[in-house]
Amino acid sequence: MNKFYFKVGSFLFIITGLFSLLGFETPSKVSGWIEPSINYGTDMIVLGLILLVSSFLIKEKKEKYSICPNCKESFNYHELKDGKCKYCEDVDTIDTEKYYKEHPEELES
């Protein structure tokens, strides 16, 4: 999940909580408008802070890429079956970082 959405959601919760604490009615998708209250305002602010802290703690998955040593085609690793090349039959692909460390001349071309 994208950290940006967690941050936007957290700010919306915090703003909603602040409006409720300041005495403004806040919109609700379910019941129309929610009367201002201290409990609702603090709950929204706490929820917003939890989401904000979570957005900084979440580590996004790094995509892994591999390359076929035979046809030189690159693939996203999760789209391969058992790490085999889609085009060359029964050829194991190699992680791109490892491949280019072993064959630096390939980067220049």
Check: pTM over 0.85? Answer yes or no. no
Between 44 and 106, where is the model more confident? 44
User: Across residues 11-26, what is the average pLDDT?
Assistant: 93
| 9 and 31 co-located in one domain | yes
Write down the pLDDT at residue 109. Answer: 57
In a domain, 109, yes or no: no
For tokens 């940006």, name the residue.
4
Among the listed residues 64, 44, 52, the one whose alpha carbon sits nearest the alpha carbon of residue 3: 52
| 52 and 74 co-located in one domain | no
C-alpha to C-alpha distance for 3 and 5, rounded to whole angstroms: 5
pLDDT digits (tens, 9 = 90+) for 27-41: 888 888 888 899 999
Among the listed residues 95, 105, 4, 7, the one whose alpha carbon sits nearest the alpha carbon of residue 52: 7
| 78 and 35 co-located in one domain | no
pLDDT digits (tens, 9 = 90+) for 49-76: 999 998 888 876 677 888 888 888 888 8
Q: Quick one: residue 67, left, alpha or beta (phi over 0 = left, psi -120 to 50 = alpha)?
A: beta
| 72 and 30 co-located in one domain | no
